[in-house]
Amino acid sequence: MKVPTADTKLETPARIGLLELFLLFSRLGLSSFGGNVTAWIHRELVERRKTIDETEFIAALGLYRIMPGATVVNVAVVIGRQLRGPAGATFAVLGLLLGPTLLVLAFALVYRRFAGVAVFHTVLEGAAASSVGLMIAMGLSIGAHLIGVGRGPNRGAAAPVATVAIIAATFILIGVARFPMVPTMLCLAPISIALAYFWPAPRRAEASDAGG
């Protein structure tokens, strides 16, 4: 009989039911005022529930960013499939879109009635500002993970420097210089993959062995 080890426990994903997945994405879709559903998903699944780890989320993030179609749908498809397969992807998409669609229809009726009220616009601006703050927090969390903050000194100095260089280049080229996203990513992605190959992050199993 094989005794479960710390490594196998780390590698086993947390099980989540289809109904729970549907309700979870419904709540995330309804609570993500101002957009940035990705940041809300990161907060819920990575930071709170720990259903997926930071590395898995980053891999999914890179995948759905380069996929065609609406980003929020891609998020639900990739994360849902990662958790429960094709059925999980279906339930996640339905949960993410059904509630917000009904809410938007109701909101459109309210907006037509109160569009001229100053307080109404103030509420919308506040919701958008909080959403931006959450997105920045997610970016910092993912950036710290990629750089290797808290992993110890065994990764070497080259890996975090290369990671910071790729992050900075992406931000400057797309965010500041306004270069087209697809050509920029097609140029930077091979470089980033090569750097990750030659200077990989330490495995979680290695970290647990070192700690135990």
Q: What is the pLDDT of residue 86?
A: 92
* Three-state SS sequence of 141-190: HHHHHHHCCCCCHHHCCHHHHHHHHHHHHHHHHHHHCCCCHHHHHHHHHH
112 close to 45: Cβ distance less than 8 angstroms = no
CA 92/CA 102 separation, integer angstroms? 16
Q: Write down the domain spans for the chain.
A: 13-116
Mean pLDDT over 22-38 rounds to 79
Residue type, 158: A
Question: What pLDDT digit, counting tens, does each position of 155-174 carry?
Answer: 555 667 887 888 889 889 98
- By CB neighbour count within 10 A (0-12 exposed, 13-18 middle, 19+ buried), where does 36 fall? buried
Mean pLDDT over 125-140 rounds to 72
Q: What is the pLDDT of residue 46?
A: 86
Q: How far apart are the first and last CA of the chain?
A: 23
Mean pLDDT over 187-196 rounds to 86
Q: What is the pLDDT of residue 87?
A: 93
Q: Please check the confidence at residue 2 and state whether its pLDDT lies above 90.
A: no
Contacts of 197 (CB under 8 A, 6+ apart): none
Tokens of 13: 């994903």
Residue 13: closest CA among 43, 61, 71, 55:
55
Q: Please check the confidence at residue 132 and state whether its pLDDT lies above 70.
A: yes
Tell me which residue has tokens 């890996």: 159
Q: Which of 18-27, 125-134, 160-169, 180-189 has the highest mean pLDDT?
A: 18-27
76 close to 52: Cβ distance less than 8 angstroms = no
Q: What is the pLDDT of residue 201?
A: 57
Tell me which residue has tokens 């995948």: 63
Mean pLDDT over 116-142 rounds to 72
Q: What is the pLDDT of residue 3?
A: 47
Residue type, 130: S
